[in-house]
Amino acid sequence: MPSPTHRAQRRTDALSRERIVEAAVELLDTAGESGLTFRVLTERLATGAGAIYWHVANKGELLAAATDAVVAAALAPGGSQASPQEEIRAVALGLFDAIDDHPWLATQLSAQFSRSPWGAVTPRIFERIGRQVSALDVPQETWFTATSALVHYILGAAAQNAANAVSARELDPSVDRAGFLDAAATAWEELDPDDYPFTRAVAAQMRVHDDREQFLGGVDLVLTGIITR
């Protein structure tokens, strides 16, 4: 029979802040922000609300902690030595995939950047990308602007990609990505050639493009501009 000390330790482990945040991420992934309530969380963790409030003061703090946990995992450094450009591409893809896997993350990242840039998330992302920007031998007076441009592109493009995927599923769950892109490209090709010559010209490229390759192409364009300048 477990001793009282052992039982208390098991309760402490089960109700650690990390376990609460993990459960919150699971709820956000399945039910979205509106589905994350302390009532549902207490049911999932089989505990009382007081035990959760001991670790997390309110829903805002819980959302911030969940966001930081997902971002920290996405930005976990690899073991190999890479050039600054390769490191930035790896960081960008990590964030791209995290936002794609967690549909709620884009909104929370936007909120963290605009409402609490002094919180954990904004410095974490800015530091990871900014160190590589500084290693590109660009003038120090351009570091903030260059890093901001990269961060805004990475988060904006990744968020748009995730939103496109969600919208496509909501419009017609039976249509896969290829079918959705084909329908969109066909519609572009049927536009008036006098009013939309460019859009018609790139319709075929849109039909067959790879989201991750297109995303990295944008990262490379920003990097080229930073280095050239």
Per-residue confidence in pLDDT tens, the chain, 229 aa? 444 444 444 444 558 999 999 999 999 999 999 999 999 999 999 998 889 999 999 999 999 999 999 999 999 877 667 899 999 999 999 999 999 999 899 999 999 898 888 888 999 999 999 999 999 989 999 999 999 999 999 999 999 988 887 777 777 777 788 888 898 999 999 999 999 999 999 999 999 999 999 999 999 999 999 998 7
Position 79 scores a pLDDT of 62
Selection from 118, 100, 114, 123 nearest residue 177 by Cα: 100
Position 100 scores a pLDDT of 93
Length of the chain: 229
Q: Give the integer Cα–Cα distance in Å for 150 and 162.
A: 18
Residues ≥6 apart with Cβ < 8 Å to 202 = 188
* 182, 183, 184, 189: CA torsion to nearest 10: 80
Q: Which amino acid would we find at residue 38? A: F
Q: Give the integer Cα–Cα distance in Å for 182 and 184.
A: 5
Q: Give the integer Cα–Cα distance in Å for 226 and 129.
A: 13
Q: Match 């909501």 to its residue by tokens.
A: 170
Position 194 scores a pLDDT of 97
Selection from 96, 221, 98 nearest residue 161 by Cα: 96
Q: Give the integer Cα–Cα distance in Å for 215 and 212.
A: 5
**Superfamily the domain 1-56 falls into:** Homeodomain-like (1.10.10.60)
Position 167 scores a pLDDT of 76
What fold is seen in the domain 79-228?
Tetracycline Repressor; domain 2 (1.10.357)
Position 6 scores a pLDDT of 42
Residue ranges per structural domain of the chain: 1-56, 79-228
Is residue 31 helix, strand or coil? helix
Q: Give the integer Cα–Cα distance in Å for 88 and 79.
A: 15
Position 80 scores a pLDDT of 66
